[in-house]
Amino acid sequence: MSRLFGTDGVRGLAGLDITAESALALAQGAALVLGRTARQEGRRPVAVVARDPRISGEFIAAAVAAGLASSGVDVLDAGVIPTPAAAYLVADIRADFGVMVSASHNPAPDNGIKFFASGGRKLPDAVEDEIERALTDTPLRPIGAEVGTVRRFSDAEDRYLVHLLGTLDVSLRGLHVALDCAHGAAAGVSPRAFADAGAKVTVMGNDPDGVNINREVGSTHLEQLRALVRSSGADFGIAHDGDADRCLAIDADGGVVDGDQIMALLAVSQQRRGLLVQDTLVATVMSNLGLKVAMDEHDIALVQTAVGDRYVLEALGEYGLSLGGEQSGHIIFSDHATTGDGILTGLQIAAEMVRTGRTLAELAAVMTVYPQVLVNVSGVDRLGLRGNRPIADAVARAEAELGSDGRVLLRPSGTEKMVRVMVEAQERHIAQTIAEELAALVRAELSVSA
């Protein structure tokens, strides 16, 4: 039986995979598990519910609220706000848990349901499994005054905005930023945050209609933002995804600054100001080799985790560290947030530009991006990768050939019959050749038709 929860909550096609009935049942299961401590303490659980602006979020969030309230949970409906805002509010008002209805960077027909525990932290696998098992239990059936309430969280966005501005130690006056809000949850708060911090703001992707979220805009479609930065004369640009938990940046010349480069410049900034705990950064194994080289040059240790921001979060918590993230732009500031926050990240990039008087391109140059080639080999037995001697020997030979000037990573897909072959080298043609040779070997050794 497949697991209901994926790497970031429950996700699927709204109306088919995620229905009003399934959302209500999932909320009732969550009420049993996540509201347990409050009930044991003799008080009514409180939950924050929020969503991004995709059209299906309205019926899904309503079903979630109904499931929680019918189970005796008081619901604070925060409406359309970013995922990191929902996480922050759970911690800020000391709610028992939170629910975010969003499919992040996915197209409008998709949606998802993710949960935050008390303190605004993502759920560990064990708790998600417990919620899944609770779906077969009898839901709570309070009556009368014991039924939960559903109230509007009227100052949700303002609380989050005050929090964001409180993380800055400089004014952004004099900076001009172009923002792409992806027609998503950032559309309301991101322009306000930058403007209130003193920056001049030019905005696109800030007219969500329920179906245009992420459509040719946002962090997965940077072309329009690059054009806007150039045409508006902005100092830099920030591209959010649909729920604003990540961002990528564009320098004044239109160059893309990815999550690895953002982490590099922010780590060096924090180290210089004595804020980088243990002089250590956390990133995933998919981060570019150039990030490690740059960190070595600045005597910053790099802890690498499995792919997924939840694993970055786990490492940050385990070692008590302050900064981590992913190449995709999920950047986590442990002092200020419990999850990736694209608006917070953009503000911190801008603040570093003000502090140093340097352009984004100059700051990003702290890291040289190594050419990276990724080949997805489909139709193969991904589980057969481990223990395959010919493939292991070929990887060892490739690593020996590259030495310290490159890297090889073979990773089975978590959901598909696919193996991802990634090779980095100082020269692209070398990486391309090695990646194609390894991909061919994987196809020959692990083909499901063989």
SS (H, E, C) the chain: CCCCCECCEEEEEECCCECHHHHHHHHHHHHHHHCHHHHHCCCCCEEEEEECCCCHHHHHHHHHHHHHHCCCCEEEEEEECCHHHHHHHHHHCCCCEEEEECCCCCCCCEEEEEEEECCCEECCHHHHHHHHHHCCCCCCCCCHHHCCCEEECCCHHHHHHHHHHHCCCCCCCCCEEEEECCCCCHHHHHHHHHHHCCCEEEEECCCCCCCCCCCCCCCCCCHHHHHHHHHHCCCEEEEECCCCCCEEEEECCCCEECHHHHHHHHHHHHHHCCCCHHHEEEEECCCCHHHHHHHHHCCCEEEEECCCHHHHHHHHHHHCCCEEECCCCCEEECCCCCCCCHHHHHHHHHHHHHHHCCCHHHHHCCCCCCCEEEEEEECECHHHCCCCHHHHHHHHHHHHHHHHHEEEEEEECCCCCEEEEEEEECCHHHHHHHHHHHHHHHHHHHECCC
pLDDT value at position 310?
86
- Is 17 annotated for ligand binding? no
* C-alpha to C-alpha distances, 412 to 111, 301, 438, nearest whole angstrom: 25, 27, 14
**What CA–CA distance (Å, rounded) separates 372 from 153?**
45
pTM of the model: 0.92
Q: Mind telling me the catalytic residues?
A: 104
pLDDT value at position 3?
79
**What CA–CA distance (Å, rounded) separates 401 from 98?**
49
pLDDT in tens, 366-383: 999 999 899 999 999 988
Give the tokens for residue 13. Answer: 């096609």
First CA to last CA distance, the chain: 26
pLDDT value at position 164?
98
pLDDT value at position 2?
63
Q: Which of 320, 53, 45, 334 is nearest to 181 (CA)?
A: 53
pLDDT in tens, 142-162: 999 999 999 999 999 999 999
The CATH number of 167-364 is 3.40.120.10
Compute the mean pLDDT over every residue in the chain, rounded to the nearest whole number.
Answer: 95
Residue 263 and residue 281 in contact, taking contact as beta carbons nearer than 8 Å: yes
Q: Do domains 10-154 and 167-364 have the same CATH topology?
A: yes
Task: Please count the residues of the chain.
Answer: 450
Give the tokens for residue 40. Answer: 């044991």
Pairing type for strands 323-325 and 280-284 reads: parallel
Confidence of residue 448 (pLDDT cuts 50, 70, 90): confident
pLDDT at 450 over 70: no
Residue 327 and residue 260 in contact, taking contact as beta carbons nearer than 8 Å: yes
- Domains of the chain, by residue range, sit at 10-154, 167-364, 372-446
pLDDT in tens, 45-74: 999 999 999 999 999 999 999 999 999 999
The top-level CATH class assigned to 10-154 is alpha beta
pLDDT value at position 404?
84
Residue 139 and residue 197 in contact, taking contact as beta carbons nearer than 8 Å: no
Q: Which amino acid appears at position 206 of this protein?
A: N
pLDDT value at position 1?
47
Give the residue-averaged pLDDT of 212-221: 96
**What CA–CA distance (Å, rounded) separates 176 from 365?**
20
pLDDT value at position 113?
98
pLDDT value at position 309?
86
pLDDT in tens, 230-285: 999 999 999 999 999 999 999 999 999 999 999 999 999 999 999 999 999 999 99
% the chain with pLDDT above 90: 91
Confidence of residue 102 (pLDDT cuts 50, 70, 90): very high
Give the residue-averaged pLDDT of 167-184: 98
Confidence of residue 218 (pLDDT cuts 50, 70, 90): very high
pLDDT at 184 over 50: yes
**What CA–CA distance (Å, rounded) separates 248 from 243?**
14
201 φ/ψ angles, rounded to the nearest 5 degrees: -125, 130
The CATH number of 372-446 is 3.30.310.50
- Is 279 annotated for ligand binding? no
* C-alpha to C-alpha distances, 393 to 278, 387, 403, 407, nearest whole angstrom: 36, 11, 15, 15
